[in-house]
Structure 1
């Protein structure tokens, strides 16, 4: 984003959009309605251009035009008019609340050379003041009106929020703001160290995932409030942009990584857990693509789906009796409310914008971390209690097993006595049973020989039945084809013989080359398959001839199945079949049916004049009519001769 600010003091009449600064005002919160806005899609306008009358008239109030930057490829000019009604001079500072502005150029007193040039695309030391947001000093002369032009060019969507403060208010604000932010990052650091120590002592994987989640939270806030660019990588603006793009995605991954293990979703809801994992990974990939390549500014709409699925996962596991899930939902609800305020600011809705809502996300994350820490401890306590109860049950089971083993030893002794007695009885029974089995085996062998002979007879009968069925099926198909060829049938019954385009082309190709293939250009008789279905390519001259070429269906513009049926109907009615009725039956335009009917009627007349014409012949004799194709060839040859004569 590039901001250009121009200042001009004037003694003329006060403009109607002028902001008045009185003695009792020490701070002004500038919303989009405080400016007059001009959108420059080309980005070529200069400070001299926008001060010209033809461009000055195009400035509009924010309520009528734009509440925030919507087109990242355009440049926005903000005109801010201030009238200092004080008599004593005070130092005023303009603070732009978005720390991700790419470029800033400050012009003052109608100068064409910028006083300050800074922005997120430049090193941090390019800023006039060592502060996380962009801060500019405004020179306001007492009892005079000053007009400032602010030029914005942003690579991401942002609002026009700013604050105007005196140096007294600004100094106290610095102390309070940096003190609270220091406390916030101190809490995050304490939670990281505490949980990391717990992980090193008990080696519980969940604590390590929690540490990764808290670290990603800290990285998000360092990129969001600008402190990372101020203290950690001030000379690396490219790294600052990379962190701004990657940190939210990393937060999504670590949050999902921690939440799924915290709720044991892989064991409790394995199918839903797999879907959550796929959606999170897919969303992360799309977010990285949008942030690093597309830069559409709409990536934040991809966050609600995975976070909503994770919250629904918590509801499901809570319904199944996992008590710590309710703490997880409570902790995440704080963040959800603060994210809602952030989305409203991104969309240009500033109804709820104030100091509390701007920093509500920091407060929400502190509350979330505290509640999640309690929930994590509660889960560990629940696991410990469950382990103790399991150990007690195991001790009871071991005692019962010891008692059962004593009873088993007594029973084994009794069984040994019974076994000796039963062995003698079994030996006698085995001898008798062996003799019975030998006799039954001989009987079964005889029956098997009889079954083998019967199976041979059945096999012969089965073969005869299969042969008879095949002959009946062939006869049935011939009868059905003869019925179609002998009288009129409807389109549905006709389609049983020619169900689709491939069947029609197969029949047409077999009919066309029934006496063998011969190339129409060179007379060669060997061919291979062409690219189109059922076409043939000459192996000598490479000429390709389709199945419909030189037939009645050459250049046919509708389905060949319907064309087959149309030829059948016209032949059955000896050419006396109206185009209106044909259009209704085939569901085609009447003009198309009329043209094709004329083509078939001409083919029927030529067939009737043929020497081998038979009144009882099949309608398929018409399919190979190539009169129109021959005329096209003659016209092509004549055109070629006419072109060659002038050359001679």
Structure 2
């Protein structure tokens, strides 16, 4: 009876290729009280007493947005002749309890999540990997997840060699993105030392913090930057994001010369800078779960403001670099909007929605560099034109002065004769 009670939906994994575990293959149990244990889950009497019931996942990829509840997931895996890996690919989940069952009995338990030091993971990887030994019997997997971040993930069963082959492609793709960010940052830092314009510093700090946030979302930051500081790993997004927003606003003010040309807009952007600094301080003190909705809302307001201001200035001034500037922020805002709707559970979780912000950011970094370069050359041309005009005026003054001296000398000579 017990074995039939825990018998979940069955995942058909091929013998060679990876098998994605779709939402319809997973059963879900929501625990608002956070009181259920794995022994309660395996006990029919507890289910009957509390009117508990497993339900099929409503989406192809489990995604519940920011939720205060504890979630239990279960699915079955067939017998397998080779060792495999179960990948849970969302790096920000706080607490994950992994239970592997055979014939209704727990044979392996793994506790992990980003609340644990990285060194405690069974496999040292940015995502959560669980080894699946070869077996001639069907096995059931139970996952208990509780997190202050968005509760969403994809599950894939991989042959070991296939997983690491796929991982190489993943690293190349991300390496290209971070390589572009690094090159553009160094290039604009060089320009700062050359022209001493703070706009380049604001740009470099902004794109650097945004890149660190992307490292955090993908799990690389916890793996390589702060593997033994899970508390900071949890707070880093909420703390660093407002700082990035401050630098973005400072960059916009400097790039578009908002203070000089649009004083009313400058007052509003200055207010947003103050609010962002307050959000940064609050994110250090208060829990991530409390602050991240406010930070996300602030990011939407500031991104929309920057986009509106950039288009307003573009249509008023019609400089070429303003077009690059507006297009850059459009790309980022679209990417961030798609990612936000993904985290809120509005859009499904897939490769595109997960990478949207990074794609938009990559386009933005390149276009903003074009805008800065165009602005630099425009300033150089204006300076050359101004110097040329100044030189012409100076030559005219010299010519006039010379002519006046000649006339004066001629008059003096005529009087002395």
Regarding TM over 0.5, the answer is: yes
- Give the alignment of 1:273-352 within 5 angstroms: 273-286=266-279, 289=282, 292-293=285-286, 295-296=289-290, 297-299=292-294, 300-321=296-317, 322-351=319-348
Secondary structure at the aligned position of 2:150 is classed as coil
Q: 1:18 aligns with which of 10, 24, 29?
A: 10
* Matched-pair contact (CA < 8 Å) for 2:8–2:74: no
Distance change in 2, residues 1:55/1:98 (3 Å): same
For the pair 1:137 / 2:93, whether they are aligned, the reply is: no
Q: Deviations over 1:69-118 (max 9, x none)?
A: 4564321111223345xxx6133322122111222332223566963222
* Matched-pair contact (CA < 8 Å) for 2:66–2:151: no
After superposing on structure 2, the runs of 4+ consecutive aligned residues of structure 1 that deviate more than 4 Å are 12-16, 110-114, 399-412
* Matched-pair contact (CA < 8 Å) for 2:66–2:343: no
Counterparts of 2:10 and 2:347, CA distance in 1: 21
Q: What is the aligned residue count?
A: 397
* Matched-pair contact (CA < 8 Å) for 1:47–1:112: no
Distance change in 2, residues 1:14/1:38 (3 Å): closer
Residue 361 of structure 1 deviates from its aligned partner by 2.9
For the pair 1:68 / 2:63, whether they are aligned, the reply is: yes
**1:192 corresponds to:** 185
Which runs of no fewer than 5 residues in structure 2 stay unpaired?
409-417
**1:170 corresponds to:** 163
Which runs of no fewer than 5 residues in structure 1 stay unpaired?
1-8, 413-648
Distance change in 2, residues 1:170/1:22 (3 Å): closer
Residue 244 of structure 1 deviates from its aligned partner by 2.6
Q: TM-score, length-normalised on structure 2?
A: 0.84
Q: 2:36 aligns with which of 8, 21, 45?
A: 45
Counterparts of 1:62 and 1:248, CA distance in 2: 32
For the pair 1:368 / 2:364, whether they are aligned, the reply is: yes
Distance change in 2, residues 1:153/1:291 (3 Å): farther
For the pair 1:79 / 2:71, whether they are aligned, the reply is: no
**1:55 corresponds to:** 47
Q: TM-score, length-normalised on structure 1?
A: 0.56
Q: 1:398 aligns with which of 378, 394, 398?
A: 394
Distance change in 2, residues 1:361/1:22 (3 Å): same
- Give the alignment of 1:403-552 within 5 angstroms: none
Residue 366 of structure 1 deviates from its aligned partner by 2.3
Question: CA RMSD of the aligned region, Å?
Answer: 3.1
Distance change in 2, residues 1:140/1:380 (3 Å): same
Distance change in 2, residues 1:334/1:28 (3 Å): farther
Residue 266 of structure 1 deviates from its aligned partner by 1.4
Distance change in 2, residues 1:30/1:255 (3 Å): farther
Counterparts of 1:213 and 1:298, CA distance in 2: 21
Between Structure 1 and Structure 2, the one with more strand by share is: 2
Residue 47 of structure 1 deviates from its aligned partner by 0.7
Distance change in 2, residues 1:13/1:140 (3 Å): farther
Counterparts of 2:366 and 2:385, CA distance in 1: 28
* Matched-pair contact (CA < 8 Å) for 1:120–1:237: yes
- Give the alignment of 1:592-603 within 5 angstroms: none
* Matched-pair contact (CA < 8 Å) for 2:307–2:330: no
Counterparts of 1:268 and 1:149, CA distance in 2: 60
**1:234 corresponds to:** 227
* Matched-pair contact (CA < 8 Å) for 2:180–2:362: yes
Secondary structure at the aligned position of 1:115 is classed as strand
- Give the alignment of 1:90-105 within 5 angstroms: 90-105=82-97
Residue 272 of structure 1 deviates from its aligned partner by 0.6
Residue 383 of structure 1 deviates from its aligned partner by 0.5
Distance change in 2, residues 1:180/1:251 (3 Å): same
Q: Deviations over 1:218-245 (max 9, x none)?
A: 2212211111111122122122223232
Higher relative contact order structure (alpha carbons within 8 Å, sequence separation ≥ 6): 2
